[in-house]
Chain A
Amino acid sequence: MDVVVFWVLALLAVASGILVFRLSSMARVTYALLGSFLFIGGELILLGLNYLGVVVILMMVMEMVIMAVFMIAYMMNPAGLMPMSMVHNRRGALAISGVVFAALAAGIAAVPLPAPAATRPPDPTLQLGESLMGGQMLTMMTLGFALLATMVAATVLSTGRGRYDRFGDDLERRIPNDPVPGGVGRR
């Protein structure tokens, strides 16, 4: 039964992955990619990694909706209502993806995989987490803070109106001078 579910989900994931390059509407393409991620979330749940599987579903739905908004905003035709091709630089893309696929497939064959355990561990998510990050927890925590700091810094650098625009050069205004009235602490 598990094997059947695995193959059904796997084929659906690959099929919706292919649709990403065959469809011509940005909205449909985004949701095809979302479908692919959802099926992969299903595969993770099938492996007993419930937490990771459900979190993949949760994060990917949010991410793909945000991505749809940005991709459509950045497209060259207004609102993305005209059909468009998702394929660019055909030869280069084919070469790169072929090499990456071959390398990953070779990795599966070359790496000595451990023999499957007789029984499933009580908490596979915990086991996977420890084997992935066990010795590297400090690195990962530092990386997390570095990423967050980068995001905050990038936002601060790119914002058009900072606190000096809102509160004056000496931050002397009690009520900020904003183009849109209302909100927290405004009139």
Chain B
Amino acid sequence: MNSSRNLSGRQVVNPAPLWSVLLAPAALAGLAVAAVTGDALLAGRAAGRRFAVGMAVTPLAEAARLLVAPPRTTVAPDRLLLRLGVAGVAVAAVLAVAVVPLGDRVVVDLDVGVVWFNAMEVVTWAAVWLVGWGPNALFPLVGGYRFVAQGLAYQLPFMLALITAATGAQSLRVADIVAAQRQLWFVVWMPVAFLVYLAGVLAFSFLGPFDYPAGRDIAGGVLAETGGVDRLMLLAGRWLLLTAGAAMAVPLFLGGGLGPLLPAWVWSLVKTVAVLAVLVYLRRRLPTIRADRYVELAWVVLIPVAVAQALVPALVVLGRG
């Protein structure tokens, strides 16, 4: 493998210099904007319109409008909790990518990086519920509770998918998981974990089939009573979460920055964009699934299947001795 010439020994990821603290969120935001733009183009095509630049910049124009639009107020809101929740969604996404390597560089090379990513993704539970609670209004409240119900469904299979990758590498350090995929990407022998992981990403960013907490049947749910900058932060946070999830799929299942010819960081970017494209496509293709139905699918089908999948690397690792 060509790119491994600068990757000596087991160490495939090094802590990046301090300026990466700024670069990582910028890269995350850039990819999220690309995802939103792609989504807008798909929406335009679905509506039968011809491709135009105007179509691609619709989301950015909407963002600019929200920046100057007045915030929405309700009767007796809990402003502190609402703002905490609104900021929490985006902050969780940014903190989550701190352990995701771009090529052979990572902001924080934490020895429990996988658990950290999981913890930051779970922060969305707290944040989205607060966004539902804060406005003191019916539809957001229903949306907030829907997210928690959906969380109980997607979270356990999602955690098992993370555990599967960690078991294959016998380490919770993201760099070790990349290094363990030198011979074979994990997606090849952990396909079920990969699919469950992707479903989890769509679920914690409450997009596509998992937009039930922000469903049209409840007037936008958690989004219903937000306006202006609050709404912008919330919408951006969702896409940042989707992007963070796509970025983490690369070191977990797709060999991280490993690949021929091109430098490691290019491979990381290419793979992230590919995963992101698949997620955006799925978001438009799949219908919303009710949380009560997904709970049943998750607990009756996905958890046993994910446990069986986790058993595969466990046995392989035991067999290696």
Q: Let me know if B112 and A50 touch, CB within 8 A.
A: yes
Q: Let me know if A69 and B110 touch, CB within 8 A.
A: no
Q: Let me know if B123 and A61 touch, CB within 8 A.
A: yes
Distance (whole angstroms) from the CB of B109 to the closest CB of chain A: 12
A180 to B273 CA separation, bound complex (whole angstroms): 40
> Which of A2-10, A52-60, A96-104, A137-145 has 4 or more CB atoms under 8 Å from chain B?
A52-60
One of A51, A64, A65, A81 near B115 (C-beta < 8 A): A51
Q: Let me know if B112 and A51 touch, CB within 8 A.
A: yes
Q: How large is the interface on B (under 10, 10 to 19, 20 to 34, 35 or more residues)?
A: 20 to 34
- Closest residue to A69 on the B side, CB-wise? B148
**How many CB-defined contacts (below 8 Å) exist between A and B?**
64
| Residues of A close to B110: CB separation below 8 A | 50
Residue A14, interface by CB 8 Å = no
Residues of A within 8 A of B (CB): 25, 27-28, 31, 34, 50-51, 54-55, 57-58, 61-62, 64-66, 68-69, 79, 81, 180, 182-184
Interface centre among A28, A61, A81, by most chain B C-beta atoms within 10 angstroms, is: A61
One of B80, B123, B293 near A183 (C-beta < 8 A): B293
Q: Let me know if B296 and A69 touch, CB within 8 A.
A: no
Residue B297, interface by CB 8 Å = yes
Q: Which 10 A-B pairs have the closest CB atoms?
A: A58-B119, A183-B296, A54-B115, A65-B125, A57-B119, A184-B300, A50-B112, A51-B112, A61-B122, A184-B296
Q: Let me know if B145 and A58 touch, CB within 8 A.
A: no
Q: A27-B133, A51-B172 are in contact. Are A62 and B122 (CB under 8 A)?
A: yes
Distance (whole angstroms) from the CB of B148 to the closest CB of chain A: 6
Distance (whole angstroms) from the CB of B231 to the closest CB of chain A: 21
A64 to B151 CA separation, bound complex (whole angstroms): 13
